[in-house]
Amino acid sequence: MEKGKPKDSVGIIGQGAYLPPKILTNADLEKMVDTTDEWIMTRTGIKERRIAADNVATSDMAVEAAKEALKEAKMKPEDLELIIVATITPDMQFPSTACIVQRKLNAPKATCFDVSAACSGFIFAMVTGEQFIKAGTFKNALIVGAEKMSSITDWQDRSTCVLFGDGAGACVLTKSDSKVILASYLGSNGWEADLLKLPAGGSAMPASHKTIDERLHYAKMSGSEVFKSAVRVMAEAANKVVEKCGLKCSDINCLIPHQANIRILLSVAKRMGLSEDRLYLNVEKYGNMSSASTAIAFYEAAKKGRLKKNDIVVLDAFGSGFVWGACAIKW
Ligand code: UT7
C-alpha cells in the first residue's frame, strides 16, 4: 500500500458531466427582472448559466453525465451495483430519481436511492458510496449530482433568479489505488433550515391554489445570512478534512468548492490562507447548480489537466439545511 492512502481505498475511475446547451445571460435577465449585468457580476461573479429545456428532467441530465462517467470507467451499466443521485429537484416526489436513472441507463443490478443534502449533496452521496464499497456491501457505485434548478426558481424574484442554473455531474467509485478518497468531513445544523428552503409542496404545506398564488413552490433564501455562514463553515470543513489526513491547508493543490458566489469562494480561500490559483472556479459560466456544481467543477478540473498525479484535491460544499461537507482526494 502506498504511504498516505487508507487501506482498501476507494477511488474515482470515471467522471462525466452534462450541461444543457441553452445559455441564459445576464443581459437576458436584465429584460426579465429589475437587475443589471454589473450588479450580478460584482455581487456574484456569475455571467451566464445553463437552462434545461421544458422536456428535459433532472434524470435526463443525470443519465448523460452517468454515460460519460461509465465510458471512462470502462464499465457497462449492467455491472453497476449502486446508484446514488444527489438532488433537490427530483423528477417527482417519488420514486427516487436514482430509480428513474436506473431504468433509463438499464442498470438492473443496481440498488438505487436519492440523497437530499442540497448543495452539499454530491459530497454526501460520494461519501455514502465510499462507505458501502469499503464495507464490502457493493463493489462499485455511480454517484450523480443533478439539478434542474430552473424548475424551482422564481423568475420574478431578482434576489434569487440571477443565481441558479441547471446541469449534472457524475463519477464512478470502486476499490482502487489511484484517485483515492483520503478522508471526509460532514456536518449539519437544522436550526438554520428556514434561511434557504422551498416552503410548499411537501407534507408540511401541500400544494394548493393558495401556495401557488403565493409563489411558495420556489426557492427562498435569506442571502446575506447564508453568505456569512457559507464562508465560515466551508473554510472550517476544508481545514478539518486536511487535518484528518495529517496535512495542512498549504498541502492542498486544488480546492474545488461548491460554486455559489465568487465572493464566498475568494473569502473561503483567504480565510484558509490559500492563494487564488489553488481554487477551481467556474461559477461565471454556470451559476449555482446546487449538488451539480461541485460535481461539474470536479469533472472540469480533471479534464482541463488541473489535477496532477498525487495532488491533494479537496471538494468542499455548503448548502440548505444547513449541511456541509468536504472530501480530500489524492489524485
Ligand atoms: O448554494 C449555497 C447557498 N447559497 C449561497 O451561498 C448564496 C449566498 N448569498 C449570496 O450569494 C448573496 O447574499 C446574494 C448574491 C444572494 C446577494 O448579495 P448581497 O451582497 O448579500 O446583497 P443583498 O441581498 O444584501 O442585497 C443588496 C441590495 C438590496 O437592495 P437594498 O435593500 O440595499 O436597496 C437588494 O434589493 O441589492 C438588491 N438586489 C438586487 N439588485 C439588482 C438583490 N438582488 C438584486 C439583483 N439586481 N438581482
Chain segment 233-280, per-residue pLDDT in tens: 999 999 999 999 999 999 999 999 999 999 999 999 999 999 999 999
How far from chain centre, in Å, is Cα 158?
Answer: 23
Instruction: Give the model confidence (pLDDT) of 272-316 as tens digits.
Output: 999 999 999 999 999 999 999 999 999 999 999 999 999 999 999
Per-residue model confidence (pLDDT) at position 1:
42
Per-residue model confidence (pLDDT) at position 5:
58
Mean pLDDT for all residues in the chain: 97
Task: Give me the mean pLDDT over the 197-207 stretch.
Answer: 97
Told to judge if 253 belongs to the known catalytic residues of this protein, a careful annotator would answer no
Vertex 200, ends 23 and 160: CA angle to 5°? 35
The answer, yes or no, to whether any atom of ligand 1 lies below 6 A from the CB of 139, is: no
Per-residue model confidence (pLDDT) at position 8:
82
Instruction: Give the model confidence (pLDDT) of 6-25 as tens digits.
Output: 668 999 999 999 999 999 99
The answer, yes or no, to whether any atom of ligand 1 lies below 6 A from the CB of 226, is: yes
Choice among 1-10, 125-134, 260-269 with the minimum mean pLDDT: 1-10
Q: How far is the CA of 185 from the centre of ligand 1 (A)?
A: 29
Per-residue model confidence (pLDDT) at position 291:
98
CB-based contacts of 25, cutoff 8 Å, min separation 6: 37, 47, 48
Q: Per-residue confidence at 4, pLDDT binned at 50, 70, 90?
A: low
DSSP state of 50: E
The answer, yes or no, to whether any atom of ligand 1 lies below 6 A from the CB of 259, is: no
Which spans in the chain are helix H? 26-30, 37-44, 58-73, 97-105, 121-135, 158-161, 209-213, 223-244, 262-272, 283-286, 291-303
User: pTM for the whole thing?
Assistant: 0.97
Told to judge if 258 belongs to the known catalytic residues of this protein, a careful annotator would answer yes
Is residue 3 scored above 70 in pLDDT? no
**Domains of the chain (ranges, CATH numbers):** 10-177 (3.40.47.10), 183-330 (3.40.47.10)
Is residue 199 scored above 80 in pLDDT? yes
